[in-house]
Structure 1
Amino acid sequence: MKRTSATLFLIAHCLALALPSAHADSGPRAKARVPAKAQAPRQAAAMRPAVASHAAARSPVRHEVRDGEPEARLIEVYKLIGQADSRQALRKAENLVRDHPNFQLAQLVYGDLLSGQTRPLRTLGDVPDTTAKSAAQQLAELREESQLRLRALRERPPSGAIPSQFLALSPRSRHAIAVDASRSRLYLFENGSDGLKLVADYYISVGKLGIEKNVEGDQRTPLGVYFITSNLDPKSLKDFYGSGALPINYPNQLDLKRGKTGGGIWLHGTPSDQYSRAPLSTDGCVVIANPDLARIIKTVEIRSTPVVIAPSLKWVAPQSLKADSKQFEDALQAWHSAKSSGDVARLTSWYAPDFNTLGKTLTEWQPALQTELKQLGGRGIELKDVSYLRWTDSNDTMVVTFAELVKGAKTGRVKRQYWSRHGSQWKIFFEGTV
């Protein structure tokens, strides 16, 4: 690969050294330029057909796209560049853009490989200076996307580690999702008898103005612990949302307590003419390539699947969370004991002064609580299928979900509580039925 740019070579070479094999469970995405003949990357729609006709002339056959497959194939191209195998890299890049003409980052790499056959390349997306100037933002987004994909695939989570927010998950939560905004990456977990296991991860896009949503229309993605609330029928959605949408419960009770506004935050797909979007390109939703979203939609469960969205994820060994879990379990057990005792004063001592449920303060809610305790008739309660997830920023919050059953009953209500740390004590600031 004598004329290939040193930049592209080094990027790919670093990846080749870091990865023993292509990571199949990843989700690609981008905007880009194509062959050397193509004009401005900003006119992606015009460029895609050029690539499609060039490559599809050989084989118009389409195959079913498996989640993560296009990104894995792109990484394979990078590795071949790193190994100085220009012929194989070009062949595989051409096949990739033929199969996925809307994968713009792949087109950008393919265009560089074609250009590299006739002249030295200076950088990733080495287009003429006039084109580079007119399409500066688009090229910058593509380069950033490339770096984010490579970083996420080089810096893999430690084997067996999980995000620190997942203190305890009930078997009823068979899956969990964590989003690392700093890496533009979504991680999908399976919750089995041995705990959480990472089964796939994908490239994603977040808000145009970044993260930490505060008000409606701020084009930021919220941070916190959420749950998937529904699965929207793709037939009811515009093409803009791709193969489907999974809304989450933003604003959650912590968000409401903090005065945050807005709504309609979804995990959704991309338009049919885009494989993926730029890292910062949404109005606040988390956007993922359609094949990757299809895998997630087929996998997760509504209402019981938690979605953690964090600035960056802290990966820890599950056993290291036991101390934090034990401290909170003691508080939850003490609340449980107080409620089973029927002692109102003892029970209400576990609620924060700013407690609120459905617009009622603790004082306004107490009559309903007293009625509930009387109905128990001293039978006590049982907690089943308990999950608790921790969110730590300027405060320490625990999001707890459990089934509450009167002793001897077979069914009960599913409740969710939000606890906050007050000094060394945990207090409940919200309680409601799911």
Structure 2
Amino acid sequence: MFSARRPDRSGVPGGSALRRHAAGLAFTLAATSLAAHAQGEKLRHIGQAKPGKTARAATPPAVLRDGLAETRLVEVYRLTGEGRTREALAKAESLARDYPNFQLAQLALGDLLAARVRPLRQMGDVPALAAGDAAAPRAAGDAAAPRPVADVLGELRAESRQRTDALRARPPAGAVPAQFLEIAPRSRHAIAVDASRSRLYLFENTGKGLELVADYYASVGKLGIEKAIEGDQRTPLGIYYITSRLDAAKLSDFYGAGALPINYPSPLDLSRGKTGSGIWLHGTPPDQFSRAPMATDGCLALSNPDLERILRTVEPRTTPVVIARQLQWVQPQSLQPERQKFEAVLDAWRSAKSRGDMQRLLAFYAPGFESYGKMPLADWSRGLEAEARALRGRELQLKDKSYLRWTDTADTMVVTFGEVAAGARTGPVKRQYWMRQGNQWQIFFEGVIG
């Protein structure tokens, strides 16, 4: 990132000693600021905000809008790579002043100051004398051992790589993640997370389909992804929905601007014996702009300005969240054949229920089917039969349909729709989980969600 050419010593008053001192301070501030909050999630819980202090006190000013800090940091990188170090230094100073808690901004500033004294071998090239065996302190009250500055610098370098790599490898124009076969109009937004790039993508559901409107750096679990059990410090993979919006005033400062819980474990997770709870999209403490790529206990952590945009935008219960190891981007028209194939399967289920053909209808349900409360198929079938009788020959209509496909060791479909009998104005909103068994799709979970 930074040039190793002859240092530019102009424009820094006070001589080489002052320049070395300023560079060392910038490195140390960046490292200790990050480490002060690189601790486990949920160390403080709901309702434990400090007395007399509300989340409003931590709200950044309007100038700190979503995505702006990253855009300005990348501009510093670009100018530095072009050898325009004076311009880069001015922009780095401005960025660090506007975002004093942005450790990467402080590190970039430190590098640019140090480059005036000596060539740099890497980002955050702290001299051995300055680094030594120094350790960055933990937050007040945290009994964990201090962390070596070298470890913190390594996390900052990883964060920088993830940010720049994701910005270089942009999704193709008009492309969407392959999981989004169809999103109902009532779902006004959708979220997809690419864990390999530490990136969250926010979509708006327009009349012309999904439109990518923003994307942000996001941290995942300390031990990576594929959550399986409670406390494994991994972020789950799969298809989820935002369940609620948690007010920052009722949370500790650790969660920053607020939180959006998702419905982990999903019915698919439960069918696989996965455990755990409390997976949120949330912010960061007021004195920490962002976290390392792998830093949470399983949640997704974003900077507060970025999270605030999402909090203002998405709707609980209707916003899907896809969390993938690596997103596969496709053009929407390429999804049409699979969407039509599954549409035919769902229509056959609808037709069987409309006609009260219980033998045909039950053939769509897997032997291991369960509903909420672990209701088995034998009990669920009695409810199905009662619903079919209540139709009295009226055709069943499925409205506001969403199909989200998840493929790993199995091929599954998460389906949401409003179920309305002909002549009726409203009906229940249902969610089904289907799994492909050979050439046949079968329902292994169904429940009313609204």
| TM-score category of the 2 structures, normalised to the smaller one | 0.7 to 0.9
Q: Specify the code of the residue in structure 2 equivalent to 1:144.
A: A
Q: Which residue of 1 aligns with 2:97?
A: 98
Distance 1:242 1:62, change over 3 A: closer
1:132: how far off?
6.4
1:63: how far off?
5.5
1:360: how far off?
1.6
Q: Distance in 1 between matches of 2:63 and 2:31?
A: 29
Distance 1:45 1:409, change over 3 A: closer
Q: Does 1:195 align with 2:209?
A: yes
1:138: how far off?
0.7
1:4: how far off?
3.9
Q: Distance in 2 between matches of 1:142 and 1:75?
A: 14
Contact 1:144 1:279 in 2 (8 A): yes
1:259: how far off?
0.6
Gap runs ≥5 in structure 1: 7-32, 49-60
Contact 2:183 2:401 in 1 (8 A): yes
Percent of aligned pairs with the same residue?
Answer: 61
Q: Does 1:44 align with 2:33?
A: yes
| Equivalent position SS for 1:412 | coil
Gap runs ≥5 in structure 2: 6-20, 38-59, 134-147
Q: Specify the code of the residue in structure 1 equivalent to 2:32.
A: Q
**Superposed, which structure 2 residues align to 1:302-381 within 5 Å?**
302-358=316-372, 359-381=374-396
| Equivalent position SS for 2:365 | coil
**Superposed, which structure 2 residues align to 1:165-314 within 5 Å?**
165-314=179-328
| CA distances 1:355-398 after superposition (whole Å, capped 9, x unpaired) | 11121211122222211211111113110000010000000000
1:393 to 403, 408, 419: 408
| Equivalent position SS for 2:171 | coil
TM-score (norm 1): 0.88
Q: Distance in 2 between matches of 1:34 and 1:157?
A: 40
Q: Which residue of 2 aligns with 1:127?
A: 126
| CA distances 1:169-201 after superposition (whole Å, capped 9, x unpaired) | 111111100000000000000111110010000
1:310: how far off?
0.2
Q: Specify the code of the residue in structure 2 equivalent to 1:356.
A: E
Distance 1:132 1:112, change over 3 A: farther
Q: Distance in 1 between matches of 2:196 and 2:114?
A: 32
| CA distances 1:20-40 after superposition (whole Å, capped 9, x unpaired) | xxxxxxxxxxxxx98333464
1:333: how far off?
0.7
| Equivalent position SS for 2:367 | coil
| CA distances 1:98-120 after superposition (whole Å, capped 9, x unpaired) | 01010001111110000111111
Distance 1:112 1:412, change over 3 A: same
Q: Distance in 1 between matches of 2:101 and 2:298?
A: 23
Distance 1:401 1:258, change over 3 A: same
1:45: how far off?
7.1
Contact 1:34 1:109 in 2 (8 A): no
Q: Which residue of 2 aligns with 1:114?
A: 113
1:410 to 422, 425, 448: 425
1:67: how far off?
0.4
1:62: how far off?
6.5
| CA distances 1:315-334 after superposition (whole Å, capped 9, x unpaired) | 00101111111111111011
Distance 1:402 1:75, change over 3 A: same
| CA distances 1:274-312 after superposition (whole Å, capped 9, x unpaired) | 000000000000000000000011111111000000000
Q: Distance in 1 between matches of 2:163 and 2:22?
A: 19
| Equivalent position SS for 1:386 | strand
What is the aligned residue count? Answer: 395
Q: Distance in 2 between matches of 1:364 and 1:72?
A: 56
1:155: how far off?
0.3
Q: Which residue of 1 aligns with 2:80?
A: 81
Contact 2:242 2:263 in 1 (8 A): yes
Q: Distance in 2 between matches of 1:289 and 1:110?
A: 20
Q: Distance in 2 between matches of 1:149 and 1:185?
A: 8
1:202: how far off?
0.2
Q: Specify the code of the residue in structure 2 equivalent to 1:308.
A: V
Q: Which residue of 2 aligns with 1:421?
A: 436
Q: Distance in 2 between matches of 1:68 and 1:357?
A: 41
Query: Runs of 4+ in structure 1 displaced over 4 angstroms?
Result: 45-48
TM-score (norm 2): 0.85
Contact 1:391 1:397 in 2 (8 A): yes
Distance 1:349 1:63, change over 3 A: closer
| Equivalent position SS for 1:43 | helix
Q: Distance in 2 between matches of 1:401 and 1:62?
A: 39
Q: Distance in 1 between matches of 2:71 and 2:93?
A: 15
Q: Distance in 2 between matches of 1:364 and 1:92?
A: 66
Q: Specify the code of the residue in structure 1 equivalent to 2:65.
A: R
Q: Specify the code of the residue in structure 2 equivalent to 1:425.
A: Q
Contact 1:34 1:110 in 2 (8 A): no
Q: Which residue of 1 aligns with 2:64?
A: 65
| Equivalent position SS for 1:411 | coil
| Equivalent position SS for 1:402 | strand
Q: Distance in 1 between matches of 2:94 and 2:62?
A: 12
Contact 1:38 1:47 in 2 (8 A): no
| Equivalent position SS for 2:181 | coil
Q: Specify the code of the residue in structure 2 equivalent to 1:396.
A: D
Contact 2:34 2:152 in 1 (8 A): no
Contact 1:245 1:269 in 2 (8 A): yes
